[in-house]
Amino acid sequence: MKFKFLKTLAMTAAILQSGSIMTIAEAIPDVSAQSYIVIDADSGRIIGSRNADQKLPIASTTKIMTSILAIENAGNLNKKIEVPSICAGIEGSSIYLKPRQMVSVIDLLYGTMLRSGNDAAETLAAFAGRNSQEGFVDMMNQKAVEVGAYNTNFMNPSGLHDDNHYSTAYDMAVISRYAMKNDVFREIASTVKYKALSLGTVLYNKNKVVYEYEYGSGIKIGYTKAAGRCLVASAKKDGTEIIVVVLNDQNWFNDSYRIFDWAFENYKSYFIAEKNQYAGTSPDGNPVFVDQDFSYLLTEDENGKVRFETEYCVPHKLNSDSGTIYGTYKILLGEEVIHTGKLIGYN
């Protein structure tokens, strides 16, 4: 038995009626990227893209995966570790590590993300991969699958060119959205400058987004001759955070800023449902409630097209503290289901 309820949830109804004049989003600005995507960092909703599933080299944006894996697997981030000889003198970007130098893991993370040090990335991989770069690369590819980046293949932790090392704009957005949920990673990615005590230096972020764009919040640049200029950028305004990925884009920063301006002008994150919010009465007369918070990126026009559907089932207990499941609900934007959840009773 299904029930549609646009006005059952009082708070949601108030949100849906908040704008008296509905507007349609302007067209996304044209950008020069070979491939790009624009997503909501919270819900993952895609609001713009071109060639987003095209497999391309991604240069040092690879280090997003390297860094989040190191954070998750390195243990004590303040621990000092020895730089393996094979990790010093790596070609490309460098923080100029010396063989057997003792450096803290946290300083290596900042060196990897802010300065794009290939030597820092390789040292992190050797440590977090238990002295096996191949093992760490396997971890990178496994994590890519776990988060839904199915068109990605890593061959090294730094992003140095290899014909079999590639990803897509979509996959990089998925990986970045995952990484930015980690507080340590987010802090590093948003830092303008950092005093690396174990290195005896100050590291300045190459990613101009964090200090040049008013709402910039991260995350990583990359460049090789084969990949061109690659940028994964994030910006947050009034509770709405957008992630932009541009691959092979000569105007990488300005294009991302224009997209951010467009996104913030036309979209915002609406709080659609709140955990334990009253959702109506079950067929046997018990009050039921929404099981989790949910927000979604919408235009003002779309905001008026959000609706709910509920479907009740035979009640069954979760456990003594979690209440009873009375059914499920769907939140739809037009005919598209954008969220599903459980209807919970606590009697």
- Kindly list the distances between the CA atom of residue 345 and the CA atoms of 278, 282, 312, 321, in Å, as whole numbers in the listed order: 10, 9, 12, 11
- Kindly list the distances between the CA atom of residue 202 and the CA atoms of 76, 145, 195, 205, 210, in Å, as whole numbers in the listed order: 22, 35, 4, 10, 17
Q: Which one of 35, 60, 158, 190 is the catalytic residue? A: 60
Q: Provide the token pair at 272.
A: 């659609």
If you write DSSP's letter for every residue of 4-51 in order, what string do you get? E-SSSSHHHHHHHTS-SS---PPPPPP---SEEEEEETTT--EEEEES
Q: Which one of 35, 63, 176, 234 is the catalytic residue? A: 63
Q: Which one of 67, 104, 116, 282 is the catalytic residue? A: 116
Euclidean distance between CA atoms 338 and 298, whole angstroms? 11
Q: How many CA atoms lie within 13 Å of 1's alpha carbon, on the beta-carbon side?
A: 7
132 is catalytic: no
Q: Provide the token pair at 211.
A: 């200090």
116 is catalytic: yes
Catalytic residues: 60, 63, 116
